[in-house]
């Protein structure tokens, strides 16, 4: 092997090694910037929440926090379900059937964000003209299905994504 060939081979190796070290260095600098765009662990933990519903008696409700917002879980009685289903859709400012606000086969469980759709206040349970929720800030009245019936709120209370994990647990989110 001649001196010239040794120089070329050595030069090629040095160039390749330099590019490899440079690429690893650039990756080491860029990775923290990319990784910081991921949500932090606290946000990931709040993405879903599981709630034990085994102790909620018919006619009662509880409030839990999910993503920093209150969520109302109400176990409705058969009378409350019948009352909600007897309402004519023409009487509702935001027409929505009661059946569309609950999971099929689990009609007694109403799960909704506890936020007034007018200005984001938290309505009071078992109050108002329709035995549902009442927002005292501006006078919005919701029925036992969380539908707006009277007042300035433009829409019904929102139903979050939820599922029944088992007969005693609801997973929200």
Q: Is 118 a catalytic residue?
A: no
What DSSP designation does 38 have? S
The two tokens of residue 124 are 């009071």
Which one is catalytic: 16, 78, 138, 163? 138
Task: Beginning with the edge strand found earlier in the chain, give each strand of the sheet holding 49-52 in spatial order.
Answer: 49-52, 169-172, 162-166
Q: How far apart are CA 148 and CA 152, in angstroms?
A: 9
Residue 156 and residue 101 in contact, taking contact as beta carbons nearer than 8 Å? yes
Residue 146 and residue 132 in contact, taking contact as beta carbons nearer than 8 Å? yes
Which residues fall within 8 angstroms of residue 134, CB to CB, at 6 or more apart?
A: 123, 124, 127, 128, 140, 141, 142
Residues tagged active-site: 138
């Amino acid at each position: 092997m001649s001196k010239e060939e040794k120089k070329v081979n050595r030069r090629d190796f040095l160039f390749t090694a330099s590019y490899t070290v440079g690429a690893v260095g650039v990756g080491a600098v860029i990775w923290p910037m990319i990784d910081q765009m991921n949500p932090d662990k606290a946000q990931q933990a709040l993405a879903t929440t599981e709630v034990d519903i085994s102790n909620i008696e018919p006619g009662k409700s509880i409030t839990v926090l999910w993503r920093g917002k209150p969520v109302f879980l109400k176990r409705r009685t058969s009378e409350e379900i019948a009352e909600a289903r007897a309402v004519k859709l023409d009487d509702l400012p935001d027409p929505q059937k009661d059946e569309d606000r609950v999971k099929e086969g689990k009609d007694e469980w109403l799960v909704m964000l506890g936020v007034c759709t007018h200005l984001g206040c938290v309505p009071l349970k078992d109050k108002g003209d329709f035995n549902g929720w009442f927002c005292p800030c501006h006078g919005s009245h919701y029925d036992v299905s969380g539908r707006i019936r009277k007042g300035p709120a433009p829409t019904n209370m929102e139903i979050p994504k939820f599922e029944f994990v088992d007969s005693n647990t609801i997973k929200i989110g």
